[in-house]
Structure 1
């Protein structure tokens, strides 16, 4: 069962993120991503320019391909984003838009080479969206040493110990009512969704 950690009051040291722990699993294998048929979280996130984006409004515009990735530093994520960009024109013809979310700050997103009016990068640097989607997990202590204060997001657990969290990479297809129609998440961050499967999922959602 996924480990649920509930916080009401958190004391943060100066170097820790102000992120709040509400739903972070103990390991990637223990996450529980939201399933098709459930409403997608409609939060407010920042774009690369620091503008606030209302996801509920974005959902209503078009079918949304929501890509959750670990960060621009991750080579597997970069390849995935590039692969989706290659099929962007096909997705647009189906009436879809692409929204890619990561723990990267807006400043880090501004350095991305992804540039398209149909392909938006958003910052989830407090991992509220990752937690709401059921994708957030804590890194083990050894792995966290390589990530701490560099990559991922810092939290404080119930015992007062600081930990680093990341999202399990995932792809959701969300219809204009905000319902999840397709979901793919794999605890093995090296394995990503094939673009042909994504095209099929968007086609099916567009015909509903």
Structure 2
């Protein structure tokens, strides 16, 4: 089954089981964001990926330069461990990790969660690639990938037991727009997938096609 078919199944199950007041708040928040967000404002192919230094799940600092020394990188921005759609995407990427490595590409996941939360995600999903913490969404904002969720979403996270401040170190509800970006070894963005609708993600097979065209 393709990743997006899995995501669609999970979404349908969520709509069937979640309280209507919850789905209504989420749908309103996403629809409002989609009405004002323009993916063309996000980083585009041909642009230079900005330098960064982020902390990985074990507390080590990782820079763009460090990663590019090994070759091209594929960067996946996800919202957090509480998001089942993000977890499915991370698992799908992990399932293709050997294929990325065979092509000399380093896979990297980035979220605004604190490093200890990233470690939890890595362990729960048995991830064997770096998971970096973009606390405060600083890198996501530079890339035009920031979604300031409305205060109405607080009731949703409270209902599902998500302690935002504990996970993110702040209380602003900001998350990245789910995105996947291929950066060649010179630091130039070659391909991007950006979708403000959180339940659609790039198929790993498409990412591999991108890489084969480098």
TM-score bracket for this pair, using the shorter chain length: 0.7 to 0.9
Larger fraction in strand: 1
- Kept after mapping to 1: 8 A contact 2:112/2:136: yes
Q: Please give the residue correspondences for 1:114-125 in structure 2 after superposition, counting only pairs within 5 Å.
A: 114-116=126-128, 119-125=129-135
Displacement of 1:197 after TM fit?
0.8
- The match for 1:109 is 118
For 2:49 and 2:154, the matched residues in 1 are separated by: 29
Deviates more, 1:31-40 or 1:172-181: 31-40
1:168 corresponds to 2:177: yes
- The match for 1:23 is none
For 2:208 and 2:183, the matched residues in 1 are separated by: 13
- The match for 1:64 is 73
Q: Where has structure 1 moved over 4 Å in runs of 4 or more?
A: 152-155
146, 152, 155: which one pairs with 1:136?
A: 146
Which 5+ residue runs of structure 1 have no aligned equivalent? 1-25, 156-161
Which 5+ residue runs of structure 2 have no aligned equivalent? 1-31
Larger fraction in helix: 2
For 2:169 and 2:146, the matched residues in 1 are separated by: 12
- The match for 1:27 is 33
Equivalent pairs counted in the alignment come to 172
State TM-score, norm by structure 1.
0.76
| Superimposed CA distance per residue, residues 32-78 of structure 1 (whole angstroms, 9 cap, x where no aligned partner) | 21000001121110011211111222123211010100011111000
| Superimposed CA distance per residue, residues 3-47 of structure 1 (whole angstroms, 9 cap, x where no aligned partner) | xxxxxxxxxxxxxxxxxxxxxxx9355152100000112111001
State TM-score, norm by structure 2.
0.74
- Kept after mapping to 2: 8 A contact 1:130/1:136: yes
3-state secondary structure, aligned to 1:62: coil
- The match for 1:73 is 82
For 1:144 and 1:133, the matched residues in 2 are separated by: 25
For 1:71 and 1:97, the matched residues in 2 are separated by: 21
